[in-house]
Homo-oligomer: A and B are copies of this chain.
Amino acid sequence: VGLGLIGGSLARDLTEAGWTVRGLVHRESTARQARELGLADVVATDPAILAGCELVVLALPLDRLLAPAPDLLAALPPGAVVTDVGSVKGPVLRVWQPRHRRFVAGHPMAGATDVGVAAARAGLFRGRPWALTPVAGTDEAAIRTVRCLVDTVGAHPLMAGAEDHDRAVALISHLPVLVGAALLQAADGEPEAEVAALARRLASSGFADTTRVGGGNPELGTLMARTNRGALLHGLARYRRSLEDLEAMVREEDWPRLQASLEGSRAVRDRYVGASSPQATGSGNPRS
């Protein structure tokens, strides 16, 4: 259900793997495009297409996932395993758990800069983590079916509690949005026109990278904050303290402590995303 970047890429990989895939989309124009791209065996805008499906993947935007259309709910085969790809799991479970007894919540950590049906591509999930957050009582066979889906596209299934998942993505996905957004606003708030103009002209890869998600889709950023508010506020409070500590070191000119702190940050980054890229230090010139 949904053939955007995630749904479309999934359909492509599964078709390739020999599965029979039916795509349900909202607009006839999307259906046409998906058919032209050969993303699925059948593509339609009528939910009746779901009849007989053993596994239904809800690859919808989070807001539509959280307020599912009645005709979609009515068309779900009662015995089918249903999963989703939404980036928060608590709110999704609160909506879907009571509505479908074989629901298994999921979240593939894969993406790309393009969106929509034209962005669908083979191998998007290969080697990426795919979180699954079954609740107590989720039937084992349903979990196995979704794991099989994850395995088929080459992703690594990662079992987690929904609450833990949402707190983890608050730190690594949702907090970076606000952190980057605030940096953009701080730069933009420079009162001296000369300095502001210069900052715009000198801004380079360091600024671009740090603000990439912060300057991303505003609807999505808002939706994430809304659906994961508690965890995000916790992360923000801790972030604020970390920043205040760093600021104090600069204010107090405690350079040994600042350097030790930045060494700590580098070590954290190594643990999180592998060895950090060294910067251009040879000339005192950062990759700026």
Contacts and interface: CB of A to CB of B under 8 A. Distances in A.
A208 interface: yes
Interface stretch (A37-45, A60-68, A145-153): A60-68
Contacts of A277: 113, 212, 216
Contacts of A99: none
Interface in A18-65: 59-63, 65
Interface string A158-184: 101100110111011101111111111
A236 interface: yes
Contacts of A6: 280, 282-283, 285
A210 to B, nearest CB: 4
A255 B183 contact: no
Contacts of A217: 266, 278-279, 281, 286
A284 interface: yes
A82 interface: no
A266 to B, nearest CB: 5
Nearest to A86: B284
30 contacts: A4-B283, A7-B283, A8-B282, A62-B284, A85-B285, A87-B288, A108-B285, A111-B204, A113-B277, A113-B287, A115-B279, A117-B282, A129-B201, A129-B202, A164-B198, A167-B195, A168-B195, A177-B262, A179-B210, A184-B272, A185-B268, A200-B271, A203-B273, A213-B287, A216-B286, A217-B278, A218-B259, A218-B263, A225-B255, A229-B253
Contacts of A180: 179, 210, 265
Given A175-B187, A182-B239, A216-B286, 8 more contacts: A61-B281, A111-B205, A173-B206, A182-B246, A189-B242, A217-B278, A225-B255, A240-B240
